[in-house]
C-alpha cells in the first residue's frame, strides 16, 4: 500500500525563443563538460587508490570556475552543474553496489542533452515556468494539467536528437492511489506474431511500428550515408531527418504500450510474465529487429511501475521454465518443440494447444504457485514418463 504521495514526472513539449535555446544549449554543454571533468578526476583518483565523493567534486567545480579555460562555467546557472555532480555520485553508488557498470563519459552527439533545475533555479507561478538566467517564461504546451495544488520540486529540460524540446516537471501526485482489489489474475506470453497472448485466450496484435516506416527510414539513412563526414549543415539536416523518423516510431510504440499496460493493471490484481533476457535474444541477427520493435523490456518496465502505483502484483517467472512445452491440462513435458510449431497435441491427454496461449496459462499457474511456495520456486510438473520433477532456484535479485 502507498503511504506517501508518489513522485511523478509530467513531460511537456515547449518551444524556446532563440535566446532561450542559446542559453539552454550553453547549459547543456557546461553540464556535459563538468560531468566529464569530474568523472576523469574520480577515475584518476581511483587509480591512485583514493576515493573522491560529491563534496570533493563540488569543491573542484568551484576551483574550475576560477581558471581562465573554464571561466565560462560561471555564465550558466550553477544548479544544473551541481545536479550533474550528484548524478555522477549516484552512478558510482550503483557501480559499487554492482547494479550498473562503470560510468562513461558523455558525448556531444550520442548523450542526452539535458539539464536539471531544483526549486532555487526556477519560478512556477500561475502555470508559467521561468528558469534561472532567463527573463521570459517557457512557451510550454500544457497537453494535460498538473495535479491541483501541487508545486514542482524539480524541472528537467531536454532536447532530443530530432531537435524537439521537452520539459519534465517532477511533483508529488496525491491522485495516485491503490486501486480497489480485483479477483482477476492473468498470465502474459510475449511474442512477435502477436505482441501479447493472455491466459484468457485473448491475443493482442503486434503493431510493428518500425516496419510501417521502414521504407522512409531506409531512404533517409541512404541520404545521410552520402553526406560528407563532419559537422556540415547538410549532414546535420540529414541526420535530424533520420532522428525525426525514429522519434515518430518511438512515440507510437510508447503510446501503444502505455495504453496496453494501463488496461492490464486496471483489470488484474496479479500479472505474471516471463523473465526474458532480451539483451541476449537480440544477438540473434534474424530476430533482432523484430524483438527491438516489440519493446518487451519497455513493456515490462511500464507494467511494473504502474502496478506498484496501483497496488497490483507483477510476478516474473524464471526464464528457463518450459512454459511452451508443458501441457497446461495434464502437466506433461514435451521433449522437443521447435519454434516454427505454433500448435501441438499433447502425447498423454491428446489436448491440442495453441503454443502461445498454452504458455500464458502455464505462466499464470507458475506465478500463482510462486505466491504460495515462495519466490523462485518452479511448480511441479511431469515428464512424458510420468515422473514428477521440482526444481528450485534462488530468489531473483532485484537491481
Question: Over 70: is that where the pLDDT of 396 sits?
Answer: no
Contact 368, 272 (CB under 8 A): yes
Question: Over 80: is that where the pLDDT of 377 sits?
Answer: no
Distance from C-alpha of 188 to C-alpha of 34, rounded to nearest angstrom: 45
List CB contacts of 106: < 8 A, sequence separation 6 or more: 32, 35, 36
What is the tens place of the pLDDT at every residue in 75-133? Answer: 999 999 999 999 999 999 999 999 999 999 999 888 999 999 999 999 999 889 999 99
356 belongs to the catalytic site: yes
Which pLDDT band, with edges at 50, 70 and 90, does 4 fall under? low
Question: Over 70: is that where the pLDDT of 15 sits?
Answer: yes
User: Could you tell me which of 35, 28, 12, 39 has the C-alpha nearest to residue 113?
Assistant: 28
> What is the structure's pLDDT at 2?
44
| Beta-carbon count within 10 A of 221 CB | 15
How do beta strands 185-190 and 270-274 pair? Answer: parallel
Contact 353, 344 (CB under 8 A): yes
Region 239-253: mean pLDDT is 95
Q: Which is catalytic among the residues 116, 210, 304, 356?
A: 356
Question: Over 60: is that where the pLDDT of 374 sits?
Answer: no
Q: Which is catalytic among the residues 23, 274, 293, 304?
A: 274
Q: Which is catalytic among the residues 23, 116, 189, 210?
A: 189
Query: What's the chain look like in SS3?
Result: CCCCCEEEEEEEEECCCHHHHHHHHHHHHHHHHHHHHHHHHHHHHHHCCCCCCHHHHHHHHHHHHCCCCCHHHHHCCHHHHHHHHHHHHHHHHHHHCCCCCCCCCCCCCCCCEEEEEEHHHEEEECCEEEECCCCCCCCEECCCCCCCCCCCCEEEEEECCCCCEEEEEEEEECCCCCCCCCCCEEEEEECCCEEEEECCCCEEECCCHHHHCHHHHHHHHHHHHCCCCCCCHHHHHHHHHHHHHHHHHHHHHHHHHHHHHHHHHHHCCEEEEECCCHHHHCCCCCCHHHHHHHCHHHHHHHHHHHHHHHCCEEEEECCCCCCCCECCCCCEECCCCCCCCCEEECCCCCCEEEHHHHHHHHHHHHHHHHHHHCCCECCCEECCCCCEECCECCCCCCC
Question: Over 60: is that where the pLDDT of 237 sits?
Answer: yes
Distance from C-alpha of 353 to C-alpha of 359, rounded to nearest angstrom: 9
Percent of the chain scoring above 90 in pLDDT: 70
Distance from C-alpha of 195 to C-alpha of 185, rounded to nearest angstrom: 19
What is the tens place of the pLDDT at every residue in 190-222? Answer: 999 999 999 999 999 999 999 999 999 999 999
293 belongs to the catalytic site: no
Question: Over 80: is that where the pLDDT of 171 sits?
Answer: yes
> What is the structure's pLDDT at 124?
94
Which pLDDT band, with edges at 50, 70 and 90, does 392 fall under? very low
> What is the structure's pLDDT at 383?
40
Question: Over 80: is that where the pLDDT of 5 sits?
Answer: no
Q: CA-CA-CA-CA torsion for 361, 365, 367, 373, nearest 10 degrees?
A: -170
What is the tens place of the pLDDT at every residue in 16-33? Answer: 999 999 999 999 999 999
What is the tens place of the pLDDT at every residue in 292-339? Answer: 999 999 999 999 999 999 999 999 998 888 888 889 888 888 888 888
Lowest mean pLDDT segment, chosen from 4-13, 69-78, 132-141, 208-217: 4-13
Distance from C-alpha of 240 to C-alpha of 25, rounded to nearest angstrom: 17
Kindly report the average pLDDT of the chain as a whole number: 89
If you search the block for the grid coordinates 532480451, which residue do you land on? 278
Residue 374 Cα distances to 94, 271, 367, angstroms: 28, 16, 10
Region 138-148: mean pLDDT is 92
Q: Which residue has the higher pLDDT, 316 or 375?
A: 316
173 belongs to the catalytic site: no
Question: Over 80: is that where the pLDDT of 370 sits?
Answer: no
What is the tens place of the pLDDT at every residue in 273-298? Answer: 999 889 999 998 899 999 999 999 99
Amino acid at each position: 500500500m502507498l503511504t506517501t504521495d508518489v513522485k511523478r514526472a509530467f513531460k511537456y513539449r515547449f518551444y524556446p525563443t532563440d535566446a532561450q535555446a542559446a542559453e539552454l544549449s550553453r547549459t547543456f554543454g557546461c553540464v556535459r563538460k563538468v560531468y566529464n571533468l569530474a568523472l576523469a578526476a574520480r577515475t584518476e583518483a581511483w587509480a591512485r587508490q583514493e576515493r573522491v565523493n560529491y563534496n570533493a567534486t563540488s569543491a573542484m567545480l568551484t576551483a574550475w570556475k576560477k581558471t581562465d579555460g573554464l571561466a565560462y562555467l560561471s555564465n550558466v546557472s550553477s544548479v544544473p552543474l551541481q545536479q550533474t555532480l550528484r548524478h555522477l555520485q549516484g552512478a558510482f553508488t550503483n557501480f559499487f553496489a554492482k547494479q550498473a557498470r562503470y560510468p562513461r563519459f558523455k558525448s556531444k552527439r550520442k548523450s542526452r542533452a539535458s539539464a536539471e533545475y531544483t526549486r532555487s533555479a526556477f519560478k512556477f507561478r500561475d502555470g508559467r515556468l521561468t528558469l534561472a538566467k532567463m527573463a521570459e517564461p517557457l512557451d510550454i504546451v500544457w497537453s494535460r494539467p498538473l495535479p491541483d495544488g501541487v508545486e514542482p520540486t524539480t524541472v528537467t529540460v531536454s532536447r532530443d536528437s530530432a531537435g524537439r524540446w521537452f520539459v519534465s516537471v517532477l511533483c508529488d501526485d496525491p491522485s495516485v492511489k491503490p486501486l480497489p482489489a480485483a479477483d482477476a489474475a492473468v498470465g502474459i506470453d510475449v511474442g512477435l506474431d502477436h505482441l501479447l497472448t493472455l491466459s484468457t485466450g485473448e491475443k493482442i496484435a503486434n503493431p510493428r511500428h518500425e516496419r510501417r516506416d521502414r521504407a522512409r527510414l531506409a531512404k533517409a539513412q541512404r541520404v545521410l550515408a552520402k553526406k560528407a563526414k563532419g559537422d556540415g549543415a547538410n549532414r546535420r539536416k540529414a541526420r535530424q531527418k533520420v532522428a525525426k523518423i525514429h522519434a515518430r516510431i518511438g512515440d507510437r510504440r510508447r503510446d501503444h504500450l502505455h495504453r496496453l499496460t494501463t488496461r492490464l493493471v486496471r483489470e488484474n490484481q496479479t500479472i505474471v510474465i516471463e523473465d526474458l533476457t532480451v539483451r541476449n535474444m537480440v544477438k540473434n541477427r534474424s530476430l533482432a529487429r523484430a524483438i527491438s520493435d516489440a519493446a518487451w523490456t519497455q513493456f515490462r518496465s511500464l507494467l511494473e511501475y504502474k502496478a506498484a502505483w496501483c497496488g497490483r502484483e507483477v510476478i516474473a517467472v524464471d526464464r528457463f521454465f518450459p512454459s511452451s512445452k508443458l501441457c497446461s491440462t495434464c502437466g506433461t513435458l514435451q521433449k522437443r518443440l521447435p519454434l516454427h510449431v505454433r500448435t501441438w497435441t499433447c502425447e498423454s491427454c491428446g489436448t491440442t494447444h495453441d503454443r502461445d496461449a498454452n504458455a500464458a496459462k502455464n505462466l499464470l499457474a507458475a506465478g500463482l504457485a510462486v505466491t504460495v511456495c515462495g519466490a523462485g520456486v518452479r511448480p511441479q510438473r511431469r515428464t512424458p514418463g510420468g515422473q514428477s520433477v521440482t526444481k528450485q532456484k534462488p530468489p531473483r535479485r532485484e537491481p
